[in-house]
Structures are given as structure tokens and as C-alpha cells.
Structure 1
Amino acid sequence: MTSVWTTVAPVVAPAAEAAGFDGGAFGRTLLLTALAVVVVLAVTFAVALRVGKQAVIDVTWGLGFVAIALTAFVTSGGHGDGLRRWLALVLTALWGLRLAGHIFSRSRGKGEDPRYEAMLERADGNPNAYAVLHIYLPQGLIMWFVSLPVQIAMFVEGGIGWVLWLGVVVWAVGFFFESVGDLQLTRFRNDPANKGTVLDTGLWRYTRHPNYFGDASVWTGLFLVAASAWPGVLTILSPAVMVWNLYGGTGKKLLEKDIGDRRPDYADYVRRTSGFFPWPPKPADPSVERD
């Protein structure tokens, strides 16, 4: 992790220092946030062993970002702009705590997630060691890398203008789509009458993944908050990784394959509903039989 900053620092240091950015203090924060990730995942792994399922890491996903933001906020004292620092902390905490609470509520009382079961079945040797290398390590690295805009937002100075407020608006849109989309899906699943059917009302009428679109928007908004002052714009790859993961990685693509195999009428829903960005739906196919 330190190699990332070691590579970038010589390039950005002169301009950053001119803008009042303390590269040395930021580098120390990078190390401490990496340590925070290790601690959070170590506790998560211990809990996973105790309860007998690795799916607890899904709850930790949101909490890990909160731990990073809080660590960066504390270690950046005396640097950056107060407004931006508080925005980065509060917006990250609201997103992470809501997501953790939602996943905890959804998974409480259930067994291991089928995704992790399938992964652990491929383990050669100790399944716990396999989980550390193939579940915890990748998620920890992604968590730390995606959070770079939040970390650097604690140190950058100036630029309290329209880009920062645009970031807050984009974050708010994302938070709305993610939280409302999750709430609508929970209510739909809790109604026995909907068993075997596809949710195509509310936000799910305009996008097949309002929660994933919301997640992508949240991190794009946080990037804009950081990018409103130099050198925050250099963290552009962080939201790009998050958006790619949600759209083409383990998010949308993997989920739709699983649903499509189980629900024949999902194909028509795919045909008439935007895959990611909200958009008015196409007319339903009258030839498709529905329950």
C-alpha cells in the first residue's frame, strides 16, 4: 500500500505543497488507515469463525469505510478545510452505517452466503486460510483504495465552490436511490404474495439496480468533494474501481446471472428496464405470461 504513495508523491509533491497540501502527513495517514483496515478485518474474521459464516464481512464492508474516514479525520487534525473534512466524514459515515445496518438486518438468522460457500468449496487445504487470501485480502485492498478520495479530502485546502457542492448533490442522489431501493426490495421480499415474481415498481421500474446505481453515485459524489481542490482529482481511479465493480464485476453482472437462472420472467424485465442508469421503461411484452 505504501508503494502507491511512494510512486505518486514525487510527481504531485511540488504542486501539492504549493497548494498547502502536506504530503508527509497524508502519507502517514495512509499507513494508519491501512492499519485500521487490517484491524477491522481481523475482528471480522474472528467473528466469522465464531458464528461459522464468512458472510459477516458484508456487514463490515460499510463499517470499514467508516473506520477509514474516522481515522483519516483524527490524524488530519490541523490540515485541510474544516467544511470539507466534516463533509467527508459525515457523508461516509451515513452511507457506511446505513449499509451495514441494512445488510445485518437482511442476513440475520440466515446461513452462509452461497457466493462464499462456492468460493470455499474450491479451497485447497485450510478453508480459513483460503478465505483470508481470497475474500478478506481483496476486499481490504479495494476498501482502502476506493476510500482514497475521503482520505485526501481531509488534507486538501481551498476550492470550496460549485464542484464540492455538486459532489454533495450527487452523493445525496446516490444515497436516496440506494436507501429507498433497498427499502422497496425488502418490503417486496417480505410479502409472501410476491414469491417468484420480479420487483418492477418504484425505483426498480426505472433501473434494475437502484442500489448499485446509488452506491456508484455516492462514491462519485465523495470523489467530487475531494476533487474540488488539488490534488484530490488524482484519486479519480478510486470511484472508477467502485463503479466498474458494481457494473461489470461482482455486482450487477453476477447478480443478474443468478436471478435469470431462477426466474424465467426476468428476461422481459431486463428487456424493458434500464440496466444501471435510471431511465423510463419500455412497454411490457404482452406475449410474456405473468403470475
Structure 2
Amino acid sequence: MSAYPWGPFAVNLGWAAAGALAVLLATFALALRKGVHRIVDVAWGAAFAVVAAVSWAASTGEGDTGRRALAAVLTAVWGLRLAVHIARRGRGHGEDPRYGELLSRAPGSRAWYALRMVYALQAALVWLVSLPVQAASYAPGPLSAAAWAGAAVWAVGVFFEAVGDAQLARFRADPANRGLIMDRGLWRLTRHPNYFGDFCVWWGLYLVACDGGPAPAAVGAVSPLVMTALLTRGSGKRLLERRMADRPGWAAYAARTSGFFPRPPRRPR
């Protein structure tokens, strides 16, 4: 197996950072025009797709063709599906309460504060979390079992995200469910099918990077760890459940339903 091409990979880090920053800056300009910052959530998935495309193009002639394509396609499919779903969900709505609360604490200009605390931060996170995709694109050697295992874990993640999102959308569309807690389908197995899906997606992509050898495995290890922390203790599960705590029926739902990893609901005592 050829040595890992550290020089070209270092150049790719710069291109990936530029791609992520370009998406978030364009979104910032659009948000100022619309007066709504919730559209940054759409840019999250789209920025990953851009980084994957940039890494695929920049790594031509360096990494294995199959692994380059696999990493790029898996990332782009996940990112674009997420972006389209969030765009449809937010259509016609005003500002997201999360961003309204955050920007209400701005010490000076709200726009400058949003640029630093939301857009620049998300661009940096996209760059950091996408390291397995970038590193896998430059890994020599043909695909092996680890890459296909990673693709399988990724597929489980996309299933939980897409099906969970669709089930929740149908539930919310029924006026009879207004004010009720969604506890059907995948939401019976875990309180957060979409966050568990994200977890699987990024551990799966990390396995694709591991398939390329110790170098991409070491470079990409931070990604699934950061995503796991964000999903379980950062802006994901913990923040959402804090907002849901006062909803009628939430306490009983939380008592019988797994907080993250899917399992059958507990029987009431």
C-alpha cells in the first residue's frame, strides 16, 4: 500500500474550509435579507455536501476511486436530504426560538453576533466533523469490509432519520394530535430517532475512513466523538428535552422510552 499523501490532504483541508465557509457566508447574507436566521439549519447539511464534492474533486489521482466515490456519495445524500427536509419543515415559519433567544443576548450588533456565534461556528464544525470524509478521499488501497460495514451503519442512520422525520411530519399534520407527544413508530423506540440516525451516519462514515488505514482513522476519529457529544450533551438531545419538559405527557413518555439508543418501551410498573 502506498504512503498516505499528507501534502495533498493538507491542501484539501484548506479547500474544504473555504467551501464550508462559502456556504455559511452565503446563507448569512440571505438570512439578513429575509430577517430570519433559522435558514442556517438548511445550510448545515448543504455545507457537508459541498465539502464532500470539493474533497472528491481535489483528491483526483490521489486516493482510491471507489473510496472517494463512496465517501462523497454517502455524505452528499445524507446532507442534501437533511437540507431539503429542514427547508420544507421551516417554510412559512418565523424565527426559530433557539436563535431568537441566542441573539437576544447579543452585546452589540445582532448581525455581527450571529455571524460569529452561529455562522462562523457552524462552518468550523462542518470542517471538523467532515474530517473522515476528507481523509478517506486520499486513502490509497482498494475498498474492503470495513468500508461496506460503514456504509451499512450509515444506511441504518439514514433510515432512522428519514423515516422518523416522515412519521413526525404526518403526526404534526393531523389537527387531532395538536399538543400531544409523538410516541408512535420509531418514536416508540427512542425519543430521538433523528439524532440516533445522525450518530449512525457519522460513525459509519468514520468506518469508511478507517478502511483506508491508520492515517485516515487517526485524522477522522474526532468527528464521530464530537457529533456524539453534540447530539447527546450539546445542542441536540439535552436542549430539546429541556424545552419539552413542561409538555403534558412528556414525563410518562420519557419514563418508558429510551433517551437515545432504540429499544422496546418499558412497561409501566
TM-score bin, normalised by smaller chain: over 0.9
2:92 aligned residue: 109
Pair 1:136 & 2:119 matched: yes
Aligned match for 2:244, one of 259, 271, 278: 259
Pair 1:279 & 2:263 matched: yes
Cα deviations by residue, 1:140-177 (Å, 9 ceiling, x for unpaired): 11111000000011100126222111101100000000
Cα deviations by residue, 1:70-117 (Å, 9 ceiling, x for unpaired): 001111110111111111111011101100000000001110000000
1:198 aligned residue: 181
Pair 1:63 & 2:46 matched: yes
Distance in 1 (CA, whole Å) between partners of 2:245 and 2:173 is 21
2:230 aligned residue: 245
Pair 1:88 & 2:71 matched: yes
User: Rg larger in 1 or in 2?
Assistant: 1
2:83 aligned residue: 100
User: Which is bigger in relative contact order (C-alpha 8 A, separation at least 6)?
Assistant: 2
Distance in 2 (CA, whole Å) between partners of 1:195 and 1:67 is 37
1:284 CA displacement: 4.0
Tell me if structure 2 keeps the 8 A contact 1:268–1:284.
Answer: no
Tell me the secondary structure at the aligned position of residue 122 of structure 1.
coil
After superposing on structure 2, the runs of 4+ consecutive aligned residues of structure 1 that deviate more than 3 Å are: none
1:7 aligned residue: none
Aligned match for 2:101, one of 118, 122, 125: 118
Identical amino acids, percent of aligned pairs:
50
Distance in 1 (CA, whole Å) between partners of 2:231 and 2:2 is 34
Instruction: Kindly tell me the number of residue pairs found equivalent between the two proteins.
Output: 267
1:270 aligned residue: 254
Q: 1:21-32 maps to which residues of 2 (within 5 A)? A: 21-32=4-15
1:8 aligned residue: none
Pair 1:36 & 2:19 matched: yes
The residue identity in structure 1 corresponding to 2:235 is: T
Pair 1:127 & 2:110 matched: yes
Q: 1:227-238 maps to which residues of 2 (within 5 A)? A: 227-230=210-213, 231-234=215-218, 235-238=220-223
Aligned match for 2:154, one of 171, 178, 181: 171
Distance in 1 (CA, whole Å) between partners of 2:110 and 2:5 is 43
1:74 aligned residue: 57
Distance in 2 (CA, whole Å) between partners of 1:19 and 1:220 is 25
Tell me the secondary structure at the aligned position of residue 138 of structure 2.
coil
Compute the TM-score of the two structures, normalised by the length of structure 2. 0.97
Aligned match for 2:138, one of 133, 144, 155: 155
Distance in 1 (CA, whole Å) between partners of 2:115 and 2:249 is 38
Tell me the secondary structure at the aligned position of residue 180 of structure 2.
coil
Tell me if structure 2 keeps the 8 A contact 1:62–1:99.
Answer: yes
Name stretches of at least 5 consecutive residues in structure 1 with no aligned partner: 1-17, 286-291
Distance in 2 (CA, whole Å) between partners of 1:97 and 1:258 is 27
1:11 aligned residue: none
Tell me the secondary structure at the aligned position of residue 68 of structure 1.
helix
Cα deviations by residue, 1:35-69 (Å, 9 ceiling, x for unpaired): 11111111001100111111110000000000100
The residue identity in structure 2 corresponding to 1:254 is: L
Distance in 2 (CA, whole Å) between partners of 1:158 and 1:282 is 46
Tell me if structure 2 keeps the 8 A contact 1:65–1:143.
Answer: yes
Tell me if structure 1 keeps the 8 A contact 2:66–2:142.
Answer: no
Cα deviations by residue, 1:207-237 (Å, 9 ceiling, x for unpaired): 0000000011001100100111221211111
Distance in 2 (CA, whole Å) between partners of 1:278 and 1:159 is 34
Distance in 2 (CA, whole Å) between partners of 1:141 and 1:38 is 8
Cα deviations by residue, 1:190-217 (Å, 9 ceiling, x for unpaired): 1100011111110001000000000110
